[in-house]
Amino acid sequence: MKILFVAISGSIHTARWINQVSNLGWDIRLFDCIDDTGYINPELRNATVYHSIYSPQTGLDPSVKLQGLRLPIGNSRIKRWLLKRQPNYRVRRLARLIQQFQPDIIYSLEFQHSSYMVLEARQWLKNQGVTHFPKWIVFNWGSDIYLFNRMADHKQRIYELLQQADYYECECQRDVHIAQELGMKAIPLPIAPVAGGIDLQLATQLRLVEKPSARRIIAMKGYQNWAGRALFGLRALELCADVLQSYKVVMFSAVPFDDMQIAATLFSQKTGIPIEIVPGGQPHSAILELLASARLYIGLSISDGISTSMLDAISVGAFPIQSNTACADEWVTDGETGMLVPPEDPQAIAAAIRRALTNDALVDQAAERNAKVCEDHLDARKIREQVIDMYTTIAKQHQS
């Protein structure tokens, strides 16, 4: 089996997804789609990673091999020169790799950087007279179709992806419906979390250390950017300061870190509630341990898929308060096993937080019910088996 992944090499989601199949003896290669950062997530295993230019990186597993031009740190000048001389050099390099490697499957994880690049490489090969193209699966991450399909400069490209790709995979039934409404020709595959499943044995051990109602941490995702709305969460917590006096807030994956640190300092000064800021890039095990110590998890954004952090949270018993612009409604029952809130309404978010902080039975019973949901739908072993079967079946069709 030969699979070429085109994805963000530094993403933990990329590493976790690829690791599901990277120990099978298959030929797994990864082409980085993000501006030749040269960075690879240290959790990746048993893959050959292609960058045009990369700098030395410590902490990589020995099973990860690197391809490309190795240069010292500070090669941005060379990248600018390359882009000026040959703006599409990375697309052409991907096209040549496809020709040389002849993969059974091309799997592009995410749309805007990955799948768009594969689309351009396919067109470049076509212009060179190459008519054969491997089976191509596009994986819709997060907001790829739910939000960006409403943007004029993306709508046509998304349509082209859904017309030319052989298969379409995503996290939510919601997104399948949107793709079908757009006239998708690609065959929809079973929905799956972008990071694969969770080690439920580990999650159960962490969950049972302390029941949710006894925990005294509030974990909040710290994204404040084009989609993330962490500042609205901070405002909501400020409105709940009277019931937070025995709690500590931990804001993880804080982006941008300096900005969120300033906001958190002001929050703590005003309310007296201690707050810790954790930057992005933490190992998945560290995030699980944090969420296993949290009574509540808060995740707010104007658009998302399932939200991997929310799945992590429910797997270890934290009560989820998630924005209603994600697909959380396909996993939790609003008001019973979680709270779905508008991402930019601090009053509504505060009401959800207050209820979850003052109702021990609610959060403890939700943890039990969510554990059953995870057992049925989030077991890493089951999802891995499904993924292996999917790749094998598609590859056989390609070979025949």
Give 212-262 pLDDT, tens digit per residue: 999 999 999 999 999 999 999 999 999 999 999 999 999 999 999 999 999
- Give residue 75's pLDDT: 62
- The lowest-confidence range among 38-47, 260-269, 391-400 is 391-400
Query: For residue range 168-178, what is the model confidence (pLDDT) as tens digits?
Result: 999 999 999 99
Token readout for 149 is: 């399909």
Please report the pLDDT score of residue 377 as a whole number: 95
pLDDT reported for residue 38: 72
Q: Which CATH architecture has domain 200-377?
A: 3-Layer(aba) Sandwich (3.40)
pLDDT band of residue 70 (cuts 50, 70, 90) is confident
Residues 90, 358: Cα–Cα separation, whole Å: 54
pLDDT of res. 58: 87
User: How many Å apart are CA 15 and CA 13, to the nearest integer?
Assistant: 5
Please report which confidence band the pLDDT of residue 334 belongs to, taking 50, 70 and 90 as the band edges.
very high
Q: What is the pLDDT of residues 85-118, one digit of tens each?
A: 777 888 999 999 999 999 999 999 999 999 999 9
Starting at the edge strand found earlier in the chain, the sheet holding 248-255 runs 275-279, 248-255, 217-223, 296-299, 319-323, 339-341
Strands 65-70, 48-54: parallel, antiparallel or unpaired by DSSP?
A: parallel
The pLDDT tens digits for 261-314 are 999 999 999 999 999 999 988 889 999 999 999 999 999 999 999 999 999 999
Say which range, 8-12, 54-58, 392-396, has the weakest mean pLDDT: 54-58
Task: Check whether 52 has a pLDDT greater than 90.
Answer: no
Q: What distance in Å separates the CA atoms of residue 227 and residue 295, rounded to the nearest whole number?
A: 25
Confidence of residue 156 (pLDDT cuts 50, 70, 90): very high
- pLDDT for 364 beyond 80: yes
The 8-class DSSP code of residue 329 comes to: G
Domain boundaries for CATH 3.40.50.2000 within the chain: 2-196+380-399, 200-377
Residue 72, Cα to own-chain centre: how many angstroms?
A: 30
In CATH, what number does 2-196+380-399 get? Answer: 3.40.50.2000
75 contacts: CB under 8 Å, gap ≥ 6: 53, 55
State the CB neighbour count (10 A cutoff) for residue 299.
Answer: 28
pLDDT confidence tier of residue 54, bands split at 50, 70 and 90: confident
How does pLDDT run across 111-152, given as a tens digit for each residue? 999 999 999 999 999 999 998 999 999 999 999 999 999 999
Per-residue confidence (pLDDT) for residue 400, from 0 to 100:
66
What DSSP string describes 339-353?
Answer: EEE-TT-HHHHHHHH
Single-letter amino acid code for the residue at 352? A
Strands 248-255 and 27-32: unpaired
d(CA 64, CA 229): 36
pLDDT higher than threshold 70 for residue 73: no
Give CA–CA dist 356/363, Å, rounded.
Answer: 7
pLDDT for the residue 76: 65
H/E stretch holding 276: strand 275-279
Q: What is the mean pLDDT of residues 53-69?
A: 88
Record the pTM: 0.93
* Whole-number pLDDT of residue 37: 66
CA distances from 315 to 6, 127, 292, 375 (A): 29, 48, 9, 9
pLDDT at 74 over 60: no
Q: Has residue 397 got a pLDDT over 90?
A: no
